[in-house]
Amino acid sequence: MTDETTPAASCCCGAEHATRTGTPGALSRRRAIGLGAVAGLAVPVLAACSSDDSGSASAESTAESGQVLGKASDVPVGSGVIYSDAGVVVTQPTKGQYEGFSAICTHQGCPVSQISADGIVCTCHGSVFDVSTGDVLEGPAPSPLDSVDITVKDGEVTIA
């Protein structure tokens, strides 16, 4: 890769983050998708950053045990659904296997906002998480998404 990382770029959230530089043609597919996502979600992302001047955009999970999230049939195989109100992501990595994760990014607390072919994406700073495990596939997130216990019964996904 020809991308280089340089420190200390100021962010809209007040923190300083490493940024990547390089030739435009050197953008990876994943990075290009992330940039497209940022463009498409510019208003919500900016709103999240501008609403908190403490240096950390934050969101909290409001998931409660027994809370019905939605229909299992709405969760696509190989992808997932972000239940923003509950702060939970439900994925179905393989047919019939459901996983639950916190929708709160472990970098600075932004809610993840999209699930692409690459994984669960936090468009605040471009972290990508694995749909099967919640592991970090691309930083700056330092750790995996927290697991959320879910159950699937009678076609409904519920917080365990």
User: Which residue from 61, 92, 102, 108 is in contact with ligand FES, where contact means CB under 6 A?
Assistant: 108
CA 150 – CA 66 distance, rounded (Å): 9
Using CB under 6 A as the binding rule, whether residue 31 contacts ligand FES is answered as: no
Task: Write out the binding residues for ligand FES, residues 53-72 only, by CB under 6 A.
Answer: none
- Which residue in the set 38, 49, 105, 152 belongs to the binding site for ligand FES (CB under 6 A)? 105
Strands annotated E in 28-135? 68-71, 79-83, 88-94, 97-102, 114-115, 120-122, 127-129
Taking the complex as a whole, the smallest distance from the CB of residue 134 to ligand FES amounts, in Å, to: 13
The dihedral built from the CA positions of residue 80, 82, 83 and 89, taken in this order, carries a sign that is positive
Nearer to ligand FES, 86 or 136 (CB): 136
Piece of the chain touching ligand FES by CB under 6 A; list 37-45, 66-74, 78-86, 105-113:
105-113
Cβ(56)–Cβ(15) under 8 Å?
yes
